[in-house]
């Protein structure tokens, strides 16, 4: 019998097909674990208005998943070389942190449940985020998620931003696991491409932006939330090849 095409596999079958023999799970942070991308975008759009720039959501969306230097490049490409990045970035950061740290940092649905499940499985757990390391740790501690992870790598700790694979390869090295045995959860296309280029298996949970057609062609699994992932894990028959 001819094997079924990926398009005709249900989600449980896709999980079983793609995610065999992994030993570590690596998570992005903003937009995946933390529901912070909407806050960041709102702060950016407000900051642009201060300097008389019309907010361009399409330009901003290209920045998702990138570190500060790459974000600067994207904004200058989009708005022009005269775009006052340093000035706007300062206001942006102030507005973002004020909105974020004066209240409870919101988590994405199902985050604590999936982290407990992975922790219970004994798999290694790490974070690979484009956010500056010190800020990332501040967020993880405030949300009490930091204790789940043995390794956290920030965007200021690598030379090249996502979609370059450097950050995921660095995490793999720090946790002493081959890339092929690492499972990555990402929300952004830049993050998915980074993990894919590192040779890792990826599950995408989109946040502000749906996967592009080019990213979808990579053949990775895309689900709506961690609740969907949890349901697949609990489906023992469909996940017989996955060691949770």
Catalytic annotation, residues: 28
Burial class (CB in 10 A: 0-12, 13-18, 19+), 53: middle
Could you tell me which of 193, 191, 171, 167 has the C-alpha nearest to residue 182? Answer: 171
Take residue 101 and report the two structure tokens written for it.
Answer: 């740290």
The answer to whether 228 and 217 are in contact (CB under 8 A) is: no
Strands (E) across the chain are located at 24-27, 124-128, 151-153, 182-186, 201-204, 221-222
Cα 198 from Cα 181, distance rounded (Å): 11
Distance CA 133, CA 138 (A): 9
Place of tokens 């500060």: 68
């Amino acid at each position: 019998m001819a094997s079924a095409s990926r398009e005709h596999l249900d989600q449980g079958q896709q999980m079983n097909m793609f995610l065999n023999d992994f030993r570590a799970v690596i998570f992005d942070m903003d937009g995946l674990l933390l529901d912070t991308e909407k806050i960041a975008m709102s702060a950016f759009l407000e900051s642009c208005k201060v300097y008389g720039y019309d907010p361009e959501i399409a330009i901003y969306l290209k920045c998702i998943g990138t570190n500060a230097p790459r974000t600067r490049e994207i904004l200058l490409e989009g708005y022009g070389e005269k775009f006052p990045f340093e000035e706007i970035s300062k206001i942006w950061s102030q507005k973002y942190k004020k909105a974020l740290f004066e209240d409870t940092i919101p988590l994405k649905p199902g985050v604590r449940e999936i982290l407990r499940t992975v922790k219970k499985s004994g798999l290694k757990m790490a974070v690979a985020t484009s956010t500056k390391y010190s800020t990332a740790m501040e967020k993880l501690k405030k949300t009490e998620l930091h204790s789940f992870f043995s390794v956290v790598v920030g965007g200021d700790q690598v030379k090249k931003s996502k979609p370059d694979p450097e950050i995921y390869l660095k995490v793999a090295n720090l946790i002493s696991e081959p890339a092929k045995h690492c499972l990555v959860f990402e929300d952004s296309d830049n993050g998915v491409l980074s993990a894919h280029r590192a040779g890792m298996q990826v599950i995408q949970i989109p946040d502000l932006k749906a996967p592009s057609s080019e990213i979808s062609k990579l053949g990775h699994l895309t689900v709506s939330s961690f609740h969907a992932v949890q349901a697949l894990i609990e489906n023992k028959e469909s996940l017989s090849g996955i060691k949770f």
